[in-house]
Amino acid sequence: MISGLTSAAPVAIVIFLVTIGLVIARPRRLTEARAALIGAAVMVLAGLVAPVDAATNVAGHWNVLLFFVGLTGAAAVAERSGLFEALAGTSARLSGGQPRRLLVAVVIAGAVVAALLSNDAAALALTPVVYVLVTRFGLEPLPYVLACTFVADAASLALPVSNPVNVIVTADLGISAISLAPVLLPAALAAVVALLGCLLVIYRRDLPSASPILPATDSWVSWSGIPRPLLASFGVAVMIFAVASALDLPLGLAMTVAWLLLLVVERLGGRLVGPLSGIGWSLLVFVAAMGVLVDGLSSAGVTAWLASLVLGPVRDTPAAVMAVSAAAGAVGANLFNNLPAAFVLADAVHGAGLGAASAHAAAIGTIIGADLGPNLTPVGSVATLLWFVLLRQRGLEVSTWSYIRIGLIVTPTTILAALAVGLLLGVPR
Amino acid sequence: MSDVRRVLVALAGAEDPALVPELAGVLGPGFPTLEIRLLHVVDSGPRALLPIGPLPGRGPWPKPPDAAIQQRMADAEDEGSTALLATWRDRFSAGLPGATISTEVRRGQPEHEIIAGTKEYRAQAVVLCPRPRTGATESGPRSVGHVARFVVDHAPVPVVLMRHPA
């Protein structure tokens, strides 16, 4: 038996890996939330996590879970309000349809949405809007669609609100989420600038000098279509979050209050949708179940073993801890999925008993790796291969390489840019 | 041989407008009837890539593909394609007076759809720019993009690759 691992470790590892396999492969349309729930249940039935500990684990994540309710709810209000269309309209007007300027505008719009409303909002809600935008200009949408997908992750380092990974890592390590912002905000900026540089170089010969079509300026959605009170309440929501962060209040509570405010203003404005419409329930269940699964790995000594293996040799050198954590986060995100990778790494770092400076560096490194790592291919690597197989089965042939090569260039570049800033600002001298 | 020459011109959209007079020079006089089909293929690849369906790489995705979003994207494709082909139709009508111009929009993988469109139209030649987006005028390695390369390999009729005028 490897030192540190208990006799239950092989069972825990198999349950975890099979669960991740089910999450990725989705056999018979099994959702990722159900797959994770089944995995968590098996972990409990196998005696690796006591039922009461599983319940405590889920309850202990109340702040994170509440945060996701508020975040996905607020993003849904933003989507319904036409905020993304208005943002696209502004990008269209400011760029004048000049393809390079439009690419820059899309990256900036994506960065703002990802930073304030999460990477999922940018990837899920903004990307189709960008597709519509560039298609109306008669441009080939691929560079813009990929820009949107990539910037969703590159900018998601910025704030706690920008990526579920950020909240999971800081909550599990007991670090004030906003305390990392002075490092992660500049790191996000570096990653976005690096991304933009990569895209402009990669597509330097593919973007025409002018758009083939110039739709009338007034054909674009404008901000006047969004009710003023709702627009103002988005500003108030951001302020609520900023004040709660500054006072170190539970962010889940702040986010939920902000979401409820938006919901009330939306309903007062006459938009009657189900109040729970748009909430990412599957994300919630997935996160809760993943906490229990990782608890099982932890009790079997797997995460502690991983910590000694990965962080042991460098534990007293914060700069090395940050670099190794970033690499581990990126590898984990590409091997399976970034959320489980963040959970496992956070638990490993937590159990490694690092000093304050090293723990701080590990949190920054893990966030950089797990946030930016999945971009190695547009949708995550091993998983992507399965996805391409699925596409082919549906009769859609995709020129795989033309997509993957972009990620192979962009991901290492953005990680290195963010890591350089992290090492510069996040390691005590 | 028929007096009618049917030519299919595949357009990505961003080609140089000088393509028309140059093509007129290549086709030359001598045929009483010239029928030109302008084909634009909406590439299905980027839309298939959009992260609005279940993607396994990053986090669980909170919502399934949305029919309304799909419809908005399809509408934008229709609007863009129609406007593109209308612009090019005007250019061809002006540059090749007397020719009968028709247009067609197809959806799918461009190289496959160009071949299918060529066969269905029973074109006698297919015309396209080897790298319509780059404006490259030079010949040499990599001067022919993957779409044009595929068409050269698979077209059942002569293929005319129009490089942009210098």
Q: How confident is the model at residue A373 (pLDDT cuts 50, 70, 90)?
A: confident
Q: Which of A226-230, A247-251, B139-143 is the most confident on average?
A: A226-230
Closest-CA distance, B28 to chain A, in angstroms, reads 27
Q: Which residue has the tokens 């509408």?
A: B75
- Chain B contact set for A131 (CB, 8 A): 46-47, 50, 73, 76
Position with higher pLDDT, A375 vs A105: A105
Backbone angles phi, psi at B8, to 5 degrees: -100, 125
Which residue from B minimizes the CA distance to A68?
Answer: B62
Rounded mean pLDDT of A201-214? 85
Q: Is the pLDDT of residue A405 over 90?
A: no
- Distance between the two ends of chain A, CA-based, in angstroms? 40
What is the average pLDDT score of chain A? 84
Q: Is the pLDDT of residue A35 over 90?
A: no
Which residue from A minimizes the CA distance to B107?
Answer: A396
Residue count (chain A): 429
SS3 A404: helix
Closest-CA distance, B166 to chain A, in angstroms, reads 15
CB contact under 8 A, A140 and B109: no
Count of domains for chain B: 1
Rounded mean pLDDT of A221-234? 87
**Closest to A69 measured CA to CA, from A288, A294, A246, A256:** A256
Q: Is the pLDDT of residue A343 over 80?
A: yes
How far apart (Å, rounded) are the C-alpha atoms in residues B75 and B109? 19
What is the average pLDDT score of chain B? 82
State the pLDDT at residue A134: 92
Torsional sign, CA A147, A151, A153, A154: positive
Q: Is the pLDDT of residue A397 over 60?
A: no
Does B30 reside within a domain? yes
User: Best of A26, A32, A132 to disrupt the B interface by mutation (most B CBs within 10 Å)?
Assistant: A132
Does B82 reside within a domain? yes
B114-126 in b/e form (b: 16+ CB < 10 A) is bbebbeebebbbb
Rounded mean pLDDT of B5-34? 86
- Chain B contact set for A113 (CB, 8 A): none
Give the structural domain span for B74: 4-161
Closest-CA distance, A281 to chain B, in angstroms, reads 7
Choose among A141, A146, A379: nearest Cβ to B57.
Answer: A379
State the pLDDT at residue B164: 67
Q: Is the pLDDT of residue A147 over 60?
A: yes
How far apart (Å, rounded) are the C-alpha atoms in residues A388 and A395? 11
Position with higher pLDDT, A143 vs A205: A143
Q: How confident is the model at residue A396 (pLDDT cuts 50, 70, 90)?
A: very low
Say how many CB pairs under 8 Å bridge A and B.
166
CB contact under 8 A, A398 and B73: no
Percentage of chain A beyond pLDDT 70 is 91
Helix orientation angle between A318-335 and A356-372, rounded to the nearest 10 degrees: 30
Does B166 reside within a domain? no
Q: How confident is the model at residue A5 (pLDDT cuts 50, 70, 90)?
A: confident
Closest-CA distance, A267 to chain B, in angstroms, reads 22
Backbone angles phi, psi at A186, to 5 degrees: -65, -35
Question: Which range is least confidently modeled, A17-26, A108-117, A413-422, B13-22?
Answer: A17-26
The ipTM of this complex is 0.84
Q: Is the pLDDT of residue A111 over 90?
A: yes
State the pLDDT at residue B31: 64
Does B117 reside within a domain? yes
How far apart (Å, rounded) are the C-alpha atoms in residues A17 and B138? 52
Which residue from B minimizes the CA distance to A34?
Answer: B60
Closest-CA distance, B72 to chain A, in angstroms, reads 7
CATH number at residue B10: 3.40.50.620
User: Best of A140, A279, A387, A400 to disrupt the B interface by mutation (most B CBs within 10 Å)?
Assistant: A140
Q: How confident is the model at residue A344 (pLDDT cuts 50, 70, 90)?
A: confident
- Give, for B107, the enclosing helix (H) or strand (E): strand B100-108
Rounded mean pLDDT of A76-86? 88
Does B56 reside within a domain? yes
- CA A120, A126, A128, A131: dihedral to nearest 10 degrees? -130
- Chain B contact set for A274 (CB, 8 A): none
Choose among B52, B56, B84: nearest Cβ to A387.
Answer: B56
How far apart (Å, rounded) are the C-alpha atoms in residues B45 and A403? 10
What are A285's two structure tokens?
Answer: 């269940």
Does B11 reside within a domain? yes
Is residue A259 within 8 A of residue A117, CB to CB? The reply is: no
Q: How confident is the model at residue A68 (pLDDT cuts 50, 70, 90)?
A: confident
How far apart (Å, rounded) are the C-alpha atoms in residues A172 and A406? 33
Does B17 reside within a domain? yes
- Give, for B126, the enclosing helix (H) or strand (E): strand B125-128
State the pLDDT at residue B165: 54
State the pLDDT at residue A403: 65
Burial of A185 (0-12, 13-18, 19+ CB in 10 A): middle
